């Protein structure tokens, strides 16, 4: 039995993953953006251990979330699932002066990875759109570029793969992988999304908790429990390190050396 923490488990694939893990006999701690969403998450996922509240768009709340996770003890796996989508028509600035999409999708998983006591496995939700992500890492805060919501989202999903692979390289004692769930009809995906919703949450569950040797690998990228080639730039160690540095500068959170 594994103990798993899942960000963004009040809805969509995070909630479905939590339900499936519990069905399989694992223990799950949920996360939601506020108290109301937390209550809804707990009633939608009976059997969850508890729910922790934090808005991932806030650096302070994300840091506090890591403290709360650590106060609960250790976890076998952390699934970095929460994200905001690609349809923001204009940049929404966070209390830290950053675009909401970058704060929630890139900076929050960085901060949580750096501050949560090392689990045995890390899982990062990316997207096929990561292949359109800007690998220059220029203007991550969108101060100079004209806003483009889909580009901003794609950039962050490339960052999520870079994070997963950076961790695989830096922490050989942890299994760290990324995946794309397919374009599926969640709140984010929208009602017309064509891929199979019932298959979308299974890869993160499998990577977090299965003893299948195919799931017990590190530095890999998956789609529907099968290896898939990520963007080749995601394998660039210098780019991975540059992203960690940029996240450190934006958040003030140091990345542990071991
Ligand atoms: N659906 C797709 O077609 C698709 C395709 C490719 C990749 N993905 C990836 O799959 C993952 C899950 O997506 P989904 O489709 O399940 O999305 P979703 O249905 O919109 O659910 C996203 C979850 O993240 C939470 N969340 C978002 N921003 C947050 C914040 N600032 N603070 C705290 N929680 C926050 C949401 O909370 P609320 O419920 O309160 O909003 C919700 O629980 C994401 O990483 C996404 O990029 C999805």
**What is the C-alpha to C-alpha distance for residues 197 and 257, in angstroms, rounded to an integer?**
38
Name the average pLDDT for the chain.
97
Q: 3-state DSSP: the chain helix, strand, coil percent, rounded to 5?
A: 45, 15, 45
Which segments in the chain show pLDDT lower than 70? Answer: none
* Bridge partners, residue 177, by sequence: 123
Is 110 an active-site residue?
A: no
57 pocket-lining for ligand 1 (C-beta < 6 Å)? yes
For residue 169, the model assigns a pLDDT of 97
**Which of 34, 181, 197, 221 best tests ligand 1's pocket when mutated (most atoms within 8 Å of CB)?**
181
Tell me which of 86, 110, 124, 153 is the catalytic residue: 153
Q: In what order do the strands lie in the sheet with 226-227?
A: 50-53, 27-32, 3-6, 77-80, 121-125, 175-180, 221-223, 226-227
For residue 98, the model assigns a pLDDT of 97
**What is the C-alpha to C-alpha distance for residues 171 and 168, in angstroms, rounded to an integer?**
6
CA of 85 from ligand 1 middle (Å) equals 7
**Which of 51, 80, 153, 188 best tests ligand 1's pocket when mutated (most atoms within 8 Å of CB)?**
188
Its pTM stands at 0.99
Q: Using alpha carbons only, how large is the chain's radius of gyration in Å?
A: 16
Q: Tell me how crowded residue 25 is: count the other CB atoms within 10 A of its CB.
A: 10
**What is the C-alpha to C-alpha distance for residues 54 and 68, in angstroms, rounded to an integer?**
10
CA of 236 from ligand 1 middle (Å) equals 27
């Amino acid at each position: 039995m594994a103990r798993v923490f899942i960000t963004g488990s009040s809805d969509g694939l995070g909630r479905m993953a939590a339900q499936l893990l519990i069905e399989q006999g694992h223990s799950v701690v949920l996360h939601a953006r506020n108290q109301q969403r937390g209550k809804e998450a707990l009633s939608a996922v009976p059997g969850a251990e508890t729910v922790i509240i934090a808005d991932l768009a806030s650096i302070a709340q994300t840091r506090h979330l890591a403290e709360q996770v650590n106060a609960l003890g250790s976890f076998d796996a952390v699934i970095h699932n929460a994200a905001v989508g690609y349809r923001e028509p204009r940049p929404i600035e966070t209390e830290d002066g950053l675009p909401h999409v970058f704060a929630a999708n890139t900076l929050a998983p960085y901060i949580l990875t750096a501050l949560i006591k090392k689990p045995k496995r890390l899982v990062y939700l990316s997207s096929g759109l990561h292949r359109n992500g800007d690998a220059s890492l220029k203007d991550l805060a969108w101060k100079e570029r004209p806003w483009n919501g889909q580009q901003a989202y794609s950039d962050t999903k490339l960052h999520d793969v870079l994070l997963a692979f950076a961790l695989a390289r830096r922490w050989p004692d942890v299994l760290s992988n990324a995946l794309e769930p397919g374009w599926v009809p969640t709140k984010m995906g929208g009602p017309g999304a064509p891929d199979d919703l019932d298959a979308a949450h299974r890869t993160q569950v499998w990577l977090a908790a299965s003893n299948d040797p195919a799931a017990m690998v590190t530095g890999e990228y998956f789609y529907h429990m099968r290896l898939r080639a990520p963007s080749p730039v995601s394998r660039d160690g210098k780019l991975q390190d540059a992203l960690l540095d940029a996240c450190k500068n934006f958040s003030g959170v140091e990345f542990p050396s071991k």
